[in-house]
């Protein structure tokens, strides 16, 4: 039951379900899904079935294309967020160089106290993102 809950609440589920339904519709259609037209049915039933099939034949490729675009967009966004998150969690290679001043030389005892203080950056730092916590599976909430 828990696995089913994870699948249904996954952010890929709606677009994946639409894409699966579109593929199922076209596979059934290619394998003889229009056999209802061969049976002796009342004209209204035949007309209703034909209108449904025509509407589905027009709308399902559009729905499938939108679902595929949404899946690719979500996958790329999650991949980019994962790489940014991984880059933020990797510690710097040399911790010794991180404490060195901007000039690259380590401060010595002969320097004045003002010179050994960390230099103010010439440009203000960019504001931190609103949420640095990576998004887990599930639908995003409206901002």
pLDDT single digits (tens) 70-96: 999 999 999 998 888 888 886 666 555
Residue 114, in any domain of the structure: no
**Higher model confidence: residue 19 or residue 136?**
19
Give start and end residues of each alpha helix (H) in the chain.
Answer: 2-8, 13-30, 43-89, 95-98, 113-116
Range of the structural domain that residue 53 is part of: 37-78
pLDDT at position 143: 47
Residue 63, in any domain of the structure: yes
Residues 2, 37: contact at Cβ < 8 Å? Answer: no
Domains: count for the chain: 1
Residue 73's alpha-carbon distances to 18, 51, 76, 101, in angstroms, are 15, 33, 5, 42
Residue 30, in any domain of the structure: no
Our CA angle for 137, 22, 77, nearest 5°, is 30
The dihedral built from the CA positions of residue 68, 73, 79 and 85, taken in this order, carries a sign that is: negative
Residue 52, in any domain of the structure: yes
Exposure of 123 in the CB half-sphere (CA atoms within 13 A): 3
Our CA angle for 133, 129, 125, nearest 5°, is 135
Helix axis angle, 13-30 to 43-89, nearest 10°: 140
* Average pLDDT value for residue range 135-141: 56
Residue 72, in any domain of the structure: yes
Residue 64, in any domain of the structure: yes
Residue 128, in any domain of the structure: no
- In the predicted model, is pLDDT for residue 14 greater than 90? no
The answer to whether the predicted template modeling score (pTM) of the entire model surpasses 0.75 is no
Residue 50, in any domain of the structure: yes
- In the predicted model, is pLDDT for residue 24 greater than 80? yes
């Amino acid at each position: 039951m828990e696995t089913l809950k994870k699948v249904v609440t996954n952010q890929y589920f709606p677009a994946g379900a639409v894409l699966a339904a579109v593929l199922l519709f076209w596979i059934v259609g290619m394998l003889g899904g229009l056999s209802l037209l061969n049976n002796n049915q009342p004209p209204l039933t035949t007309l209703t079935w034909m209108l449904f099939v025509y509407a589905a034949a027009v709308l399902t490729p559009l729905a499938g294309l939108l679902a595929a675009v949404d899946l690719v967009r979500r996958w790329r966004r999650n991949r980019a967020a994962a790489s940014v998150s991984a880059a933020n969690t990797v510690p710097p290679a040399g911790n010794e160089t991180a404490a060195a001043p901007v000039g690259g030389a380590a401060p010595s005892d002969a320097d004045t106290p003002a010179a050994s203080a960390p230099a103010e950056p010439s440009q203000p730092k960019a504001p931190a993102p609103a949420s640095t916590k990576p998004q887990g599976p599930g639908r995003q909430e409206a901002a």
